[in-house]
């Protein structure tokens, strides 16, 4: 696999830290949701997770660019990761963000629950793709 340089390693460390920041809050969502703090879940997600997901994509693309051609967007695991990222961004915007204006609406709470569940699943799938790199 060869040496890729210090800048690559910096991007890699930042990418991993950003993934932790992006997905770490997911573990407190169920407790907040059970206690009725619907808008708190959505607020935390849109203030921390959504921007972190954006930074995660920027750093991931930087890693691909710095990889000396070893990582290509055409690789199966990379293509699936980009699709997963786009899905998680859409879920954040269309299912979780509406709960910011929590008015006790059951539909909003249901959308939030679905969004959080999909995001948890996205974390597991993303970890699988990053660790095992299928098709690489």
Report yes or no: 65 and 7 within 8 Å, Cβ to Cβ. Answer: no
The encoded tokens of residue 97 equal 């963000």
Whole-number Å distance between alpha carbons of 97 and 40? 11
pLDDT score of 105: 83
pLDDT given for residue 3 in this prediction = 61
User: Could you list the mean pLDDT of each consecutive 10-residue stretch along the chain, which spans 136 residues?
Assistant: 79 96 92 88 95 96 84 84 97 95 84 94 95 86
Q: What's residue 72's pLDDT?
A: 75
How many Cβ atoms are within 10 Å of 15's Cβ, its own excluded? Answer: 19
Q: DSSP string covering 42-64, please?
A: HHHIIIIIHHHHHHHHHHHHHHH
What pLDDT was estimated at residue 101? 86
pTM for this entry: 0.88
**Residue 62, CA distances (Å) to 12, 22, 67 in order:** 9, 18, 9
CA dist., res. 91 & res. 85, Å (int) = 10
Looking at residue 68, its pLDDT comes to 74
């Amino acid at each position: 696999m060869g040496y890729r340089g210090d800048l690559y390693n910096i991007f890699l460390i930042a990418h991993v830290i950003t993934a932790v920041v992006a997905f770490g809050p997911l573990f407190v969502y169920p407790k907040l949701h059970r206690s009725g703090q619907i808008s708190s879940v959505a607020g935390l997600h849109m203030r921390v997770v959504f921007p972190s997901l954006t930074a995660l994509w920027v750093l991931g693309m930087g890693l691909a660019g710095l990889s000396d051609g070893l990582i290509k967007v055409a690789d199966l695991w990379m293509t699936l990761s980009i699709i997963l990222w786009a899905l998680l961004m859409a879920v954040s915007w269309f299912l979780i963000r509406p709960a910011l204006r929590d008015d006790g609406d059951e539909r909003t709470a249901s959308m939030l629950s679905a969004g959080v569940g999909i995001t948890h699943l996205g974390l597991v799938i993303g970890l699988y793709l990053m660790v095992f790199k299928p098709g690489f």
